[in-house]
Amino acid sequence: MRVTRLYENKKPVISMEFFPPRNDEATQTFSKTIDELAGLKPDYMSITFGAGGSTRDGSYQTVNELMVVKKQPTVAYIAGYGLGPEEITDVLDKYQSLGVKTIFVIRGDKPREDKLTPHPQSFAHASEMIAFIKQRYDFTLGCAGYPEGHVEAISLEKDIEYLKCKVDNGAEYVVAQYFYDNAFFFDYVEKCRAAGVSVPIIPGIMPVYTVKMTKMLSNVCGSSIPVNLQNSLDAVDADNKGAVLKLGIDFATEQCRGLLKEGVAGLHFYTMDRSYSTTEILNNLKAEKLL
C-alpha cells in the first residue's frame, strides 16, 4: 500500500497513528483498540518507532500484526537517531520482506534516559536518512512537518527550508505535527507552497484525552494551546474523565469541520492507542456527511 496513491485518488484520506504496546497487558488492549477502529475503515494505520531503536522489535511485531493478522493497510515508521546505516538497513530489509511499501521517516528525539551512545555514523537529520533510503529502496517515503515550527528550529522559515530538503531528497508526502488552531496549519501550507513544497501536507489531529496530557504534550511538542481551548481546560473538572473526553471530541470535531471545508487531502489522528475519541469524532463527521 503506497500512501501517495491514496492521496492522489481519494479525498479525504483517513489515517490513524499508534505506538507499539510495551507489555502483555497493553498488547491485549491494543488488539481490541485496533479491532474497534478497523470497523471505521480507515485508509491506513501507522506504527511509530522508538528513539534509538528502543521499540525496534515491538514496532516490527506490531506492523506484522496489523498487516498479516488484522489485514490493515499499514505504514511503518523509522526513527534514525542513534542508529548506524547497517542498523537502519536491517530494519528496512525486514519491513521490505514483510511487504511494507510506505515508510515514514523521522530523525527522532534523543532518549530521555541518556543511556544511548549514538552510532558515530548516525544521521543528524531526517533529510539525510531520506536520501540514504531513497538510493537503496523502492519505498514510498513520508516525513513530518511542523506548523508552529520544530521545537529545535531557530524559526518557522528555517524549518520549512529543512522540510523542502526532505522533499527534495525523496519524501513524497508530509504529515503535520498536531495543532489546535487551524490558522497555523493553513498559514504553514501557504508558506510551504511558496517555498516550493508541492507534495500533500496532511493535518495531524490530537484530541484532548486528559488535561494533564494536553499540557505536557504542548510543552514537549511545541504545539500551543489557544485561549479558547485553555479556557475550556480551565473550566472543566480535570478528574471528570467523561467531561474531558467530550470537551476533546467536540473541539476536535470542530477543527476537522474547518479543515474539511478547506479541502484538506486527509486527516491523521494521533490516537495514543485509544479508540473512543477518534471513533466519536469520525462518527460526528460522517453524520454531518463530511466524510
Q: Grid coordinates 495543532 are at which residue?
A: 179
CA distance 217 to 115: 23
Grouping H, G, I as helix, E, B as strand and the rest as coil, residue 72 is coil
Q: Indicate if 17 belongs to the active site.
A: yes
φ/ψ (deg, to 5) at 140? -80, 130
The one catalytic residue in 17, 65, 148, 172 is 17
CA distance 64 to 98: 7
CA distance 146 to 222: 9
User: What cell was used for 79?
Assistant: 526513527
CA distance 35 to 129: 33
Cis-peptide, bond into residue 12, ω within 30° of zero: yes
> What residues contact 96, with CB distance under 8 A and at least 6 apart?
137, 139
Is the CB of residue 287 less than 8 Å from the CB of residue 34? no
Count CB neighbours of 227 within 10 A: 9
User: What cell was used for 28?
Assistant: 491485549
- As annotated, the active-site residues are 17
